[in-house]
Amino acid sequence: MLLKTILNTVEKHKSFVYSDARWSKQMPDREIEFDVQPRKNAKPICSGCGRKRPGYDRLVSRRFEFVPLWAIPVFLVYALRRVNCPQCGIIVERVPWASGKNQQTNSYRMFLATWAKRISWQEVATVFGTSWDSVFRAVRWVVEWGIAHQDLTNITSIGIDEIQYRRGHKYLTLVYQLDEGAKRLLYVARDRTEASLNGFFNILSESTIDGIQFACTDMLPAYLKVLKARASQALNILDRFHIMKKFGEAIDKVRAEEARQMKEDGYEELLKNSRWCLLKRRENLTKKQTVKLRELLKYNLRSVKAHLMREDFNRFWPCPLAIRARPEHGPASFCVSGVCERTVRRSNR
C-alpha cells in the first residue's frame, strides 16, 4: 500500500490531490513530504467571506506539519493561492487542513491535544519532536473549537466542584454535566467565589437554567448561595464525602469538649487516645483501636452517642430508592423512607 493511499484515506479533501511521498530535501531520510495541488477547475475559497472566488496569484510553498508516521515527521507542502474577492479584496485562500497562519495541520493539533490529556505537555513535546509551545497552542485551539461548537441545551443534571491547581489557595471552579450518556466538562473559572459560578449561569439561556433538575455540590457557601439564587428549582444533592466530613468534625468537637469536662471534673480520662477510634470506619480500625472502641461502647458518653449516630446514618447510603420528592414542600425538598427516615430524624436532633 502506498503512503499516498493511506493519506487519502485518513485526510482526504475534495478539491485537492496529493503527490507521491518523498524524503525532505531539508532533512533527507528524516522527514516525509507530500506535495498538495488543487484540482483542475477548482476555485479557491476566500478566507474572509468563505465563498468561492477567482484566483489571483500563488505564494511561496509552505510546509504544514502532519501526524508523524513511524516516529518520522510528515509535512504537507502547498503553495497557497490568493483570491480576488470583490468583498474582501486580494486575500489568501482558506484551506481545509489548517487555519490562519498556523504551520500545524488541524489533525496534528488534535493529535497533540489528545496525547496531552494522557501525559504531561513537556513529554508530548519530547516524544513527538516538537516544542512545549506547539503543544500548548494545539490544546488551546482544541479548547476554543470545543467552546465555539458547544451545545448547552438539554442539561438536566450538573456537578459543581473546585480543584486546587497551585499552592497558595489557588482554585478553579469546575461545572460538569452529569446526565446519563452525556457526561462532560461544561465550564471552568478561576477562584471559587460567587462570581466564578455566576459566570456559568450567565452563558446559559433561561430555558436551559429552568431545565436543570439536579445539582450536585459540596457545602461551599458561595456555591449554595448562587444555586439558590439562579437555579432554585434544582434539587441540591450534597456529596457523601462532605456530609460524612461534617459528621467527623461534629464527633471530634463533642469528644474534645467531653474529654476536657471529664478532666476538669476529676473523672477517669476514658477518652484519652480515642480520637481515631471514633472517627475511623470500623473496617479501617487497627486491633488496638478496635479494643479501645469496645471499651468505650460500654459507657454512656456523648461522644459514643455521636459515633453511633454516624454509624446509624451510614445505613442511608446503600438504601435503594430512599429519596423521593415531596410536592407539597416544593421540588427541592426530600424525605427518606423506612429506616433512612428515622436515621435522618435522629441525626437532626
Confidence of residue 335 (pLDDT cuts 50, 70, 90): very low
Q: Taking all residues of the chain, what is their mean pLDDT, rounded to a whole number?
A: 87
Identity at 18, one-letter amino acid code: Y
Domain assignments of the chain as residue spans, ordered by start: 1-102, 157-238, 241-316
pLDDT of res. 70: 85
**pLDDT tens-digit profile of 145-194?**
888 888 899 999 999 999 999 888 899 999 999 998 889 999 999 999 99
Alpha carbon distance 13, 35 (integer Å): 13
Q: Is the pLDDT assigned to residue 51 strictly greater than 80?
A: yes
Q: Is the pLDDT assigned to residue 341 strictly greater than 90?
A: no
Residue by residue, DSSP assigns 301-333 as: -HHHHHHHHHHHHGGGTT-TT-EEE-GGG-TT-
CA angle in degrees (0–180, nearest 5) for 157-161-166: 150
Assigned fold of 157-238: Nucleotidyltransferase; domain 5 (3.30.420)
**pLDDT tens-digit profile of 195-207?**
999 999 999 999 9
Query: 3-class SS at 299?
Result: coil
pTM over 0.75: no
**pLDDT tens-digit profile of 246-275?**
899 999 999 999 999 998 988 888 898 899
**pLDDT tens-digit profile of 274-331?**
999 999 988 999 999 999 999 999 998 999 999 998 888 887 777 664 444 444 444 4
Q: Which of 10-14, 195-199, 221-225 has the lowest mean pLDDT?
A: 10-14
Determine which helix (DSSP H) or strand (DSSP E) holds 60, and give its type and residue range: strand 55-69
Residues 213-237, mean pLDDT to the nearest whole number: 92
pLDDT of res. 332: 41
pLDDT of res. 345: 67
pLDDT of res. 182: 87
